[in-house]
Amino acid sequence: MFKSLFSKLLVGYLIIFVLTVAAFSAAMSFIYQGFVFNEKEKALALGGQEVSRQIIAFKQGDISREELETSMDSVGYVMDSRIYALELDKDSLLQQQQQLMEDDLTASSNLIPDLGKIIEGNTVFRKREYSQDLDSYVVFYGMPWTIEGEIQGAILQYSPVEKIRSGILNMYYQIWMLAAAVTAFSVVVIYLYSAKTSKSLRAMERAAAQLASGEPVDDIQAFDSRDELGRLVTAFNIMKQRLEQIETMRRDFIAGISHELRTPLTSILGFVQGIQDGLVPKNEIPGALNIIQDETRRMISLTGEILDLVKLESGSSELYLERFRVFEALAFIIGSLNVNEKKPGLTVEMICPEDLTIWADTDRFRQIMLNLLSNAIKYTEAPGQIMVEVEGYDHGVRISVMDTGCGIEAAELPFVFERFYRTDKSRHSSTGGAGLGLNLAKAMVEQHGGTIGIESEAGVGTKIWFTLPDLGDHA
Quick one: how far is CA 92 from the chain centroid? 78
* Beta-bridge mates of residue 254: none
Q: What is the pLDDT of residue 427?
A: 40
DSSP one-letter code for 218: P
Lowest mean pLDDT among 245-249, 358-362, 366-370, 413-417: 245-249
204-223 burial, b if ≥16 CB within 10 A, otherwise e? beebeeebeeeeebeebebe
Q: What's the CA gap between 440 and 459, in Å, rounded?
A: 25
Return the beta strands (E) in 40-135 as ranges. Answer: 82-87, 124-131
Mean pLDDT of 284-291: 85
pLDDT of residue 253: 66
pLDDT of 429 reads 45
pLDDT of residue 293: 86
CA distance 275 to 334: 37
Higher pLDDT, 417 or 105: 417
In the chain, the percentage of residues whose pLDDT exceeds 70 is 85
Query: Which of 128-142, 244-258, 403-417 is predicted most confidently?
Result: 403-417
Q: What pLDDT, on a 0 to 100 scale, did the predictor assign at position 107?
A: 46
Closest CA to 261 of 302, 308, 306, 291: 302
- DSSP, residue by residue, 186-198: HHHHHHHHHHHHH
What whole-number distance in Å separates Cα of residue 88 and Cα of residue 153?
5
| Per-residue exposure over 297-331, b if at least 16 CB sit within 10 Å of its own CB, e if not | ebbeebeebeebbeebeeeebeeebeeeebbebbe
Rg (CA), the chain: 50
Q: Shortest CA distance to 261 belongs to which of 225, 288, 300?
A: 300
pLDDT at 332: 92
- 29 pLDDT higher than 70: yes
Q: For 58-72, 100-114, 248-262, which range has the lowest pLDDT when averaged over its residues?
A: 100-114
411 or 112, which is more confident: 411
Give the per-residue pLDDT at 428.
Answer: 44
Task: Output the CA angle 422-219-190, nearest 5 degrees.
Answer: 160
For residues 421 and 312, what is the distance between their CA atoms, to the nearest angstrom?
A: 18
Cα torsion angle, 335, 339, 344, 347, sign: negative
End-to-end CA distance of the chain: 62
Query: Which tops the pLDDT comparison, 376 or 191?
Result: 376
Q: For residue 430, what pLDDT is reported? A: 46
Residues 141, 41: Cα–Cα separation, whole Å = 7
Question: Pick the residue with more confidence: 121 or 431?
Answer: 121
Choose the weakest-confidence range: 107-116, 159-168, 412-421. Answer: 107-116
Bigger pLDDT: 423 vs 291: 291
Structure confidence at residue 333 (pLDDT): 92
Query: Alpha carbon 433 to chain centroid distance?
Result: 43
CA of 16: how far to CAs of 8, 23, 39, 186, in Å?
Answer: 12, 11, 34, 11
- What residue segments make up the domains of the chain, in order of their start? 5-166, 228-311, 318-474
Average pLDDT, the chain: 81
The predicted pLDDT at position 106 comes to 47
| Beta-bridge mates of residue 137 | 130
Q: What is the residue type of 349?
A: E
Check whether 425 has a pLDDT greater than 80.
Answer: no
DSSP H or E run through 397: strand 396-403
Residues 6+ apart with CB under 8 A from 87: 152, 153
Is there a shared CATH topology between the 228-311 domain and the 318-474 domain?
A: no
Total-model pTM: 0.46
**The dihedral sign for the CA sequence 44, 50, 54, 56:** positive
CA separation for the pair 368, 437 (Å, rounded) = 9
Q: How far is CA 310 from CA 116, 230, 321, in A?
A: 100, 37, 21
Instruction: Give the bridge partners for 145, in sequence order.
Output: 153
Does the pLDDT of residue 173 top 60, yes or no?
A: yes
Question: What pLDDT sits at residue 391?
Answer: 93
Q: For residues 383 and 344, is the Cβ–Cβ distance under 8 A?
A: no
Q: How would residue 404 be classed by pLDDT, with cut points 50, 70 and 90?
A: very high
- Please name the CATH architecture into which domain 318-474 falls: 2-Layer Sandwich (3.30)
Q: Would the CA dihedral through 312, 371, 361, 463 be positive or negative?
A: negative
Residue 313 pLDDT greater than 60, yes or no: yes
Q: Which CATH number fits domain 5-166: 3.40.50.200, 3.40.50.620, 3.30.450.20, 3.10.270.10?
A: 3.30.450.20
> How confident is the model over 120-134, as a mean pLDDT?
80
Q: Return the higher-pLDDT residue of 369 and 177.
A: 369
Ordered DSSP codes for 239-276: HHHHHHHHHHHHHHHHHHHHHHHHHHHHHHHHHHHHHH
Mean pLDDT of 290-303: 80
Better-scored residue on pLDDT, 133 or 294: 294
pLDDT band at 15 (very low <50, low <70, confident <90, very high): confident
**Architecture of the domain made up of 228-311:** Orthogonal Bundle (1.10)
Instruction: Give per-residue pLDDT as tens, 426-452.
Output: 444 444 555 678 888 999 999 999 999
Identity (one letter) of the amino acid at 145?
A: W
The torsion angles phi and psi of 335, rounded to 5 degrees, stand at -65, -35
Q: If we measure between CA atoms, which residue out of 190, 189, 229, 186 comes closest to residue 9? A: 190
